[in-house]
Amino acid sequence: MGITWLASFPKSGNTWVRFLLYNYLFGSIKTSGDINRRIPAIHRESRINTDGQQTVFVKTHFVLTDRHPLLDKTDRAIYIKRHPKDILLSGLNYHRMTGAFPEKATDQQYAQMFISRGADPIWIQQGFGTWDEHLTSWTQTDRFPVHITTYERLKHDTAAELEAMLRFSGFDPDPERVAQAVKASEFDQLRALEVREKASGKKDMIFLGQIKASRTPRFFMNQGKTGQSLAKIGPQFDAMFDQAFADAMRRHGYA
């Protein structure tokens, strides 16, 4: 067997899924760098070894086109989708944390760019496409089998979604191990790991950015919320977003 892609648009729960699968398949995590070694991201590691392994899970944010790396070694894909409003807010936090979005730029400017372009323009430049393009490319492909889950379903019943992903990938899930993996991958556990690793100055970690000293510090493992409003950015942004994304959200199950 070859690669099983863990595909998603950025800030849709891909890192969480990697933790869930790692905790189930390989046991407890000593450092978050263990994730990158066992379940690598194609954006960071181009030399993916598929020899002698039953299934190799690899993270990707790339839109699915003929130019996607390692298509010839692909067996299947798990796709994680999330409401684009929650992605916008998580992306804003992420860029503030990493410094990719200029400090002098306002939250309103970021939201306007995201809405007008159909996605974060930085992500478009990196080859991830718009939110609509990305979901369409992966969820409507006939290149290989695709199992679709959502961030919302993962939050509602993490164990059931993990079991479904494992079955799709050729495993026979053990309920006790699933429960242990879910507990070990809870949000508070991952946030605590991020805080410890960033405080220690660890270089080999999955959590990008630094926790900035402020009254409201920013984290890679941010808040994990669903169903959020853009009203805290500005009272007009929910209506602007809903109008711009209406057709795409309807097509992808977010009416």
pLDDT band at residue 36, thresholds of 50, 70 and 90? confident
d(CA 218, CA 216): 7
CATH fourth-level superfamily of 3-251: P-loop containing nucleotide triphosphate hydrolases (3.40.50.300)
Span 97-121, pLDDT tens digits = 776 666 677 899 999 999 999 999 9
Give the pLDDT mean for 75-95. Answer: 93
Q: For position 208, what pLDDT does the model report? A: 53
Beta carbons within 8 Å of 27's beta carbon, 6+ residues apart: none
Please answer whether residues 236 and 116 qualify as being in contact, where contact means their C-beta atoms are separated by less than 8 angstroms.
no
Place of tokens 């692909």: 74
Beta carbons within 8 Å of 46's beta carbon, 6+ residues apart: 69
| Residue 211, pLDDT above cutoff 60 | no
Which strand (E) or helix (H) includes residue 201?
A: none
| Residue 177, pLDDT above cutoff 90 | yes
Amino acid at site 10: P
Q: Please indicate, yes or no, whether the overall pTM of this predicted structure exceeds 0.95.
A: no
- CB atoms inside a 10 Å sphere around CB 252: 20
More confident residue, 213 or 180: 180
Q: Where are the domains of the chain?
A: 3-251
Distance, C-alpha 141 to centroid of its chain: 20
What would you report as the CA-atom Rg of the chain, rounded to the nearest whole angstrom?
18
pLDDT band at residue 175, thresholds of 50, 70 and 90? very high
Beta carbons within 8 Å of 112's beta carbon, 6+ residues apart: 240
More confident residue, 239 or 209: 239
Beta carbons within 8 Å of 137's beta carbon, 6+ residues apart: 63, 64, 65, 129
pLDDT band at residue 215, thresholds of 50, 70 and 90? very low
Amino acid at site 137: S
Does the CA dihedral 160-161-165-166 come out positive or negative? negative
| Residue 85, pLDDT above cutoff 50 | yes
Cα 223 to Cα 22, 55, 107, 187, 219: the distances in Å are: 21, 31, 17, 8, 9
Cα 194 to Cα 13, 59, 160: the distances in Å are: 16, 19, 26
Place of tokens 């263990």: 34
**Average pLDDT, rounded, for the chain:** 87
| Residue 188, pLDDT above cutoff 70 | yes
Q: For position 247, what pLDDT does the model report? A: 97
Place of tokens 């100055």: 201
Q: For position 97, what pLDDT does the model report? A: 76
| Residue 44, pLDDT above cutoff 80 | no
Beta carbons within 8 Å of 202's beta carbon, 6+ residues apart: 31, 33
pLDDT band at residue 222, thresholds of 50, 70 and 90? low
